[in-house]
Structure 1
Amino acid sequence: MTILPQSIHPLVIIPFAIFKQQSLGEKIGKNFIIPPRHFPPNIFLENDNYIASGYFANYDKRINLDLEKILSDAKWKELANLDADFLIFYWNIKKSELCVLTDQSGKFPCYFCCWENNLIVSTDLPFLINLRNCSLNLDLALDYITTGLFTFIYDETLVKEINQIPPGTLLRVSQPPNFKLESQVDLKSFVDNTPAPYASNEVFSKRFLATLDKSVKKRLKILNNLNFGAELSSGLDSGLICYLLKKASHKDFYCYTNFTQEVETDTNRDLVKKFCQKHGLSVFFDKVDEYFPFNKKRYLKIFRKYPPSLTGIELAYKSFEFARKKGSTVYFQGLGGDEVFKTQVFDFWLDFRIQDLFFMTALRFKLGIDKVLTPSGLKYLISEERFDNRRIYPNIFSTSAINANLSFFPIAWEKEVWPITPFVDSEIVQFTRLKMPRHGLIAPDKREILASLEAVFIEEQFRKKLGDEKLFDQFLIKKSEFIINVLKNSILDKTGWFRTEEIIKNLEMQRIESYLIDDTSFYLEYLVRLEYFLQNNNVKIRLP
């Protein structure tokens, strides 16, 4: 077997020649490298027909399902639609076929490519990139710079030579380098249920809380004696989770709150204290005024090692570090709470996804993207060819929640702390889609819907959320030298689509006022994140 550099990530490497052999049985096991984890727990199953390995944490109501039998019967759709976090590698002995199945929430990103007559599958994208010469996928690069994430679920990645297995999708390989990707997400059954909204916010919020309570409890149930922690801001989503954890668990746990004195963001320390006193919660406060993009050298490795991801990923890194130091194996998050209260547009969005992407992209013209892209870059950004032939995979969870899960994975894996997200639950999403009060596509604001839950919240939590731009915009002022150095080594400048030279000159002259208007500073941040990753991972641009 080809010798590869070491990685802490799960890895499968199978020479092409093995696919031509029959009945390898136990010999194939050495090609599966599955590092042990406390959570999600490792699995290893084998019989005369298959060998399966990976990770599997099942929160579904069918908690005692027979995984061995499901795999024997190859019931991939049944597995994929479970409320579970998993990644399963499966070798069909009789067919000499590799199958890899991902869960539908995006908890396990999984990538694959061919290299030196081997098929390689791993959760570590930079590891695969550095095995071979890779070129940038310019369409996804533009998607990232303009949105900070990927609007849809694709099988493409930022590099052309490496594919990903979308959430809830089965990879089949029997004759490499050929492969098949088959979505197992049962979207039809999901949308066949016709919405019948409640007329009252009070009735809905009470039953929503009961549904979320079930989601929290079934996750706690499989943790056994594992220690856990939870994120807590002064907002509503994490507050709901911490409230329900306190009610349902007899274990002591810490809540983690980061705050800044630079600007009052979603997290107001006094409100968090008051909420914790109301419910008897233990909280740890962490001041994060210095954690704007690119400010800490120790966190630059995030931008070198991990695929470009969400703004504020440094704060997520600190959160997982805290959980690890406190001995937590899992970390509860309020991720997906905002998105679940927007499900009234789900059915409409399914029919107009590409149009929605186009108009979202066109909106960037009013929000400052023209200060980052040249006229030729703007022309290509909304060109017809960018929107044609997109391979979009179905999903029932919001793409922003899925992208957040994908972004957190490298941190969670490195720190050995698993994120648990009760809002990212098919029963929660379906209940909200069917029952949330609305008039057509217009639903009440989340604060208005949850206002009747007086036993949970304190009154001040229903204030309007404030942005954190003033904290993150400091990178333009305090890290301008770093940005200039990155842009002077620009890879993307070869396209002629970016105002690289103009941006450098403005930063050198400290003319940054125009970059603090609208969303321009975010586009610049994403541009620099992407450039830094490309430069440190030897990704090239091959122009048409």
Structure 2
Amino acid sequence: MCGFLGVFGNSKFNKIIEDSKVLSHRGKDDEGVVKNDDGALKFFRLSINDLSENGNQPFKINNQYIAINGEIYNHEDLRLSLEKQNVYVEKGSSDCKIASLNLVKNNISDLEGMFAGVIWDTEKKTISLFRDHLGIKPLYYLVDNQSNYLIYASEIKAILEIFKDKISNNELVSYILFNGLDTEETLYENIKSVKPGEKIKFWIEKSGEIKSCQTNFFDSNYKILKDPIEVIIPTVEDALIHAVDLHTKMDVNYAFQLSGGLDSSLLCALEKKIFSRNIYTFSISLPDAGKYNEFENQQKVSSYLNSNHVDIPFTKKDFIEDIEHLSYINDFPLIHPNSVPIYKLAKIARENFKVLISGEGADELFMGYPKYTYAIHEKTLNLFGKLLFLNNIIPRVGKFKSLFFLLNNQKSALKAFLSTRREKQNIFNNQFNYDFRKIEKSFDLGKTIQNDDMFFSLYWLLSRYDRFTMCANVEGRVPYCDKKLFDICRSIPTKYNLKRGYKKFILKNIALKYLPIEIVLQNKIGFSLPLEKWFTDSSFFISYMNYLLKSDFLSELNIELNNEIRNCNAELIIKKDINLAWKIFSIAIWLRNK
């Protein structure tokens, strides 16, 4: 797990690239730089496999420089394939070195893992950026069409060192409304993200102009499995065990992030019972959270598995100490306040471990969220299905006249989604033109929600997990996002995941073999910070909220605050709607610290 940044098409920024430390938190074991008259590439390494200098990047293979941030879990299979092609692979080579050798001979689609990479061909004067199937690892870029150069980096802040881009009001509005953006977009006018499963090739024309073309190496199509559930359950179990095995192969110490819920508990149980390994677990407890504190569940699982466990209490003081720095690190306003404790957990774990293993992705793969309850009831299929579908197909939202609607006023949002076409056009500034008649009557609500979760919501959850583990110089691994397991799970019929009215029926069925029934069937608590209590008790939160409410920043972006909101003070908003208060605070603290 690492980070990199570079420029292509112009050497005038080579010194900035060479001296940059903005991504040093992503890898402190080594720094490598290559440069020529066409640009420069710098790599920060966090060594996980092959701790020797042979694993330092960028790699030079023939006329190509290759750098990969991430882990390639099928590197042993790639090694065997290369040897059959008479390609020499040095014994003990790192997973990324083997993947780089493969990229010279074969396709990106051969790689299985979490990765974002660059291939710089100095002879052909081309550069290619690519990213894994779910976008687990980040990669951003900007093309300056006036000066004809490309900047690319693992985090947006590295691009902003060179090009001072402007915030996009459209994207900021979309981000706040939908809790995320299309996977290509960022909050800046010119900075883009390489999409999951995408490769973008750039080259220099004789005129000096930068040109590009995109290809997708991840097949997003799938077919619903016809097998009976008795066949599907052991298939999923085998794939999950294989994923845990692959994600725990490394040359450094690792630990598990234990929430106390089903997903992380099952990973720990498989590690203990299938592979007979001693396990180390870290948990965040919330002394101020009352019924939302999962301390007892965490202790129960740890005791059952006899893990070497560390409990980390997280308080308002911790939140205030970390939130400004993390708002800068994240490159976006924080969507979920419960993201903040990830950093403290990773920072403490880093004292003895370089890798954390998390249960992220299980709720998306196995339909675990409360909203999937709607999919059990056929009467809600059309109404709710259309709402979710609409949320998924709007690529860009126009300028809103009311930030009150925009900031999580759920009744207004529901009315907007279900209003007439004319009303929708007014709400979306005449930019909405989708015809509901295109939605087929045989609409599968469960799969619609799941697709939205897998390719939108999960994308942003993985993004925050990458930022806040790497900020502590820790690699975060997510076995549930293994490509083979992912491909199987998105093909499972809705009726099997929601069988007998149970969400996550398949995963729970598997878990009963490895965990006590009271752990498997416990009610989902959900990790929730006591925001209302913290906001009410602290001037820190109120001052940031008032900064946004009273400043002209939003009006400069042509975003108008609703009078009802502008005339309120922060204390009143906190009392009336803590979710609205959080969004105002999150935007304000990001604007001040970005």
TM-score of the aligned structures, taking structure 2 as reference length: 0.72
Query: What does residue range 391-402 of structure 1 map to in structure 2 within 5 Å?
Result: 397-402=454-459
* Maintained 8 Å contact 1:111/1:125: yes
Identity %: 15
Counterpart position of 1:104: 133
Structure 1: distance between partners of 2:261 and 2:497: 27
Counterpart position of 2:225: 195
Instruction: Identify the match of residue 495 of structure 2 among 424, 434, 438.
Output: 438
Matched, 1:183 2:216: yes
Counterpart position of 2:524: 465
How big is each residue's C-alpha offset from its partner over 1:35-92, in whole Å with a ceiling of 9 and x where there is no partner? 222137655443444232233522137353534553224523x24xx32122222122
Q: Report how many aligned residue pairs link the two structures.
A: 492
Counterpart position of 1:456: 514
* Maintained 8 Å contact 1:197/1:438: no
- Note the C-alpha offset of 1:505: 4.3
Counterpart position of 2:328: 304
* Maintained 8 Å contact 1:484/1:504: no
3-state DSSP of counterpart to 2:568 = helix
Counterpart position of 2:236: 208
3-state DSSP of counterpart to 2:120 = strand
Structure 1: distance between partners of 2:274 and 2:552: 52
Counterpart position of 2:27: none
Task: Identify the structure with bigger relative contact order (alpha carbons < 8 Å, sequence gap 6+).
Answer: 1
- Note the C-alpha offset of 1:247: 3.1
Matched, 1:72 2:123: no
How big is each residue's C-alpha offset from its partner over 1:159-218, in whole Å with a ceiling of 9 and x where there is no partner? 012111112211211134433332221224xx1x44124345xx6545433321110002
Counterpart position of 1:333: 358
- Note the C-alpha offset of 1:300: 1.0
Counterpart position of 2:390: 355
* Maintained 8 Å contact 2:343/2:468: yes
- Note the C-alpha offset of 1:14: 2.5
Matched, 1:12 2:6: yes
Query: What does residue range 33-72 of structure 1 map to in structure 2 within 5 Å?
Result: 33-39=42-48, 42-60=56-74, 62-64=77-79, 65-66=81-82, 67-68=99-100, 70-72=102-104
- Note the C-alpha offset of 1:9: 4.1
More divergent stretch after superposition (433-442 vs 480-489): 433-442
AA in 1 matched with 2:214? L
- Note the C-alpha offset of 1:246: 2.1
- Note the C-alpha offset of 1:498: 4.3
AA in 1 matched with 2:366? F
TM-score of the aligned structures, taking structure 1 as reference length: 0.78
How big is each residue's C-alpha offset from its partner over 1:481-504, in whole Å with a ceiling of 9 and x where there is no partner? 331124323522345644366436
How big is each residue's C-alpha offset from its partner over 1:298-318, in whole Å with a ceiling of 9 and x where there is no partner? 431111342123312211111
Gaps of at least 5 residues in structure 1 are 1-7, 19-24, 371-376, 389-393, 538-544
* Maintained 8 Å contact 1:397/1:424: no
AA in 1 matched with 2:524? K
Residues 99 and 528 (structure 1), Cα distance of their counterparts in 2 relative to 1, 3 Å cut? same
Matched, 1:414 2:471: yes
AA in 2 matched with 1:366? Q
* Maintained 8 Å contact 2:229/2:496: no
Structure 1: distance between partners of 2:234 and 2:201: 44
How big is each residue's C-alpha offset from its partner over 1:218-257, in whole Å with a ceiling of 9 and x where there is no partner? 2223x13x10011112211011111112235565442111
Gaps of at least 5 residues in structure 2 are 13-33, 50-54, 83-98, 376-381, 398-404, 415-422, 435-450
Query: What does residue range 89-100 of structure 1 map to in structure 2 within 5 Å?
Result: 89-100=118-129
Residues 496 and 378 (structure 1), Cα distance of their counterparts in 2 relative to 1, 3 Å cut? farther
Query: What does residue range 19-418 of structure 1 map to in structure 2 within 5 Å?
Result: 27=36, 31-39=40-48, 42-60=56-74, 62-64=77-79, 65-66=81-82, 67-68=99-100, 70-73=102-105, 75-76=107-108, 78-79=109-110, 82-114=111-143, 117-150=148-181, 152-153=182-183, 155-175=184-204, 176-188=209-221, 191=222, 193-199=223-229, 204-221=232-249, 223-224=250-251, 226-249=252-275, 252-264=278-290, 268-290=294-316, 295-308=319-332, 309-311=334-336, 312-325=338-351, 327-342=352-367, 355-357=390-392, 366-367=410-411, 382-385=428-431, 397-418=454-475
Counterpart position of 1:5: none
More divergent stretch after superposition (307-316 vs 204-213): 204-213
- Note the C-alpha offset of 1:278: 1.6
AA in 2 matched with 1:233? S
* Maintained 8 Å contact 1:265/1:467: no
Structure 1: distance between partners of 2:202 and 2:159: 18
3-state DSSP of counterpart to 2:77 = coil
